Amino acid sequence: MTRSHPVFTVAFLFLLLEASCIGGAPRPSTSPPEVRLYALDCGHFDIKDMGLFADTPEYNGVSGELAVSCFLIRHPQGLLLWDTGLSDSIAESPDGGLDPVGNRARVRTPLRAQLGALGLSPEDVRYVAFSHLHADHAGNANAFTASTWILNRRELDWALQTPTPLGVVPATFSAYRSVKTWLLEGDTDVFGDGSVRILRTPGHTPGHQSLAVQLRHSGTVVLSGDLCHTRENWLRQRVPPFNDSREDTLRSIERIRTWVEDTHGRFVVQHAPEDVSALPRFPAFLE
């Protein structure tokens, strides 16, 4: 019998009440370091009705799917993991978790196992950076207690408020009390060489962030978190009404659009299966 997973249920209830997608980009450095970008499969949602993911009617009554992706950046100064996906515990059920209205979440291969395929363990990851703290992006955070967590200060304050915001499961990132944290107020250049930049993109949540990675051969890749949930939302600036702020979302979309244009970069919608499948299949990588 299919069972419902508690973390999935809370996260998914929020997904049904949330959805999609501020300066230009600096000039790329002339000689970027050797950086590798791996796309990890951190879950999958089968959506019964995509209608709530847009403020226009195109999705109404249409089923769909959302990828849940994480990304590992291998930099000469250490490893950075961007988002930690749905909880690995969901993989214990072959059918995943089913919510009350028939939407399903699955985890095919636990995040730990994917790291293991590269000969790594959570203890090898220097930084874990979060686009935001919803349960489908922070589901495995507590596995990385040896890492420094890079969090937006406003996001953490928001996620810890009472009552708990929908989609947030504080138990998934409870180790924030004891791990080393790097709390951001705005943008930051993680390694100090321009290759990995965290960009403040509020709107979906108050402290939402995106990640720009500059690769020697593949150029700039922008990992969008939940700036947008679908490729169409990015292209048409659709903002479902359950984001924290419509105005901030639109400003963030325009900021990142300018960044992508200025760097001739690649924009990745982390929940769009077509964007994720267009990346090299793990354990292959961009460089």
233 closest CA partner among 244, 243, 220: 243
The predicted structure's pLDDT at residue 91: 94
CATH 3.20.20.70 fits 6-20+33-277, yes or no: no
Q: What is the pLDDT of residue 12?
A: 43
Closest by alpha carbon to 221, among 236, 207, 210, 230? 210
**Separation of first and last alpha carbons in the chain:** 43
Q: How far is CA 223 from CA 101, 170, 197, 270, in A?
A: 30, 24, 10, 7
User: What is the percent of the chain where pLDDT is above 90?
Assistant: 76
Q: For residues 260 and 237, what is the distance between their CA atoms, to the nearest angstrom?
A: 15
Q: What is the pLDDT of residue 26?
A: 57
Residue 174 pLDDT level (bands cut at 50, 70, 90): very high
CA torsion sign for 10, 203, 159, 72 is positive
Q: How far apart, in whole angstroms, are the C-alpha atoms of residue 210 and residue 200?
A: 6
Q: Could you tell me the two tokens for 201?
A: 């993109």
Q: Residue 71: what pLDDT?
A: 98
Is the predicted pLDDT of residue 25 greater than 80, yes or no? Answer: no
What are the CA-CA distances from residue 124 to residues 110, 112, 181, 198, 221 (Å)? 17, 11, 16, 21, 24
Laid out side by side, the sheet with 127-129 consists of: 97-98, 104-106, 36-47, 64-75, 78-82, 127-129, 148-152, 180-184
Q: 140-172 pLDDT, tens per residue?
A: 999 999 999 999 999 999 999 999 998 999 999
* 259-281: pLDDT as tens digits: 999 999 999 999 999 999 999 99
Banded model confidence at residue 18, pLDDT cuts 50, 70, 90: very low
Distance (Å, whole) CA 150 – CA 129: 5
- Average model confidence (pLDDT) for the chain? 90
Mean pLDDT confidence for 4-10: 45
Residue 8 pairs in a beta bridge with none
Q: How high is the pLDDT of residue 58? A: 83
- Over the stretch 179-195, which tens digit does the pLDDT of each residue have? 999 999 999 999 999 99
Query: What is the average per-residue pLDDT within 215-225?
Result: 97
Mapping DSSP onto H, E and C, the string for 87-156 reads CHHHHHCCCCEECCCCCEEECCCCHHHHHHHCCCCHHHCCEEECCCCCCCCCCCHHHCCCCEEEEEHHHH
């209608």: which residue's tokens? 51
Asked whether the beta carbons of 21 and 208 are under 8 A apart, the reply is: no
Q: Distance between alpha carbon 213 and the CA centroid of its chain, in Å? A: 14
pLDDT band for position 73 (50/70/90)? very high
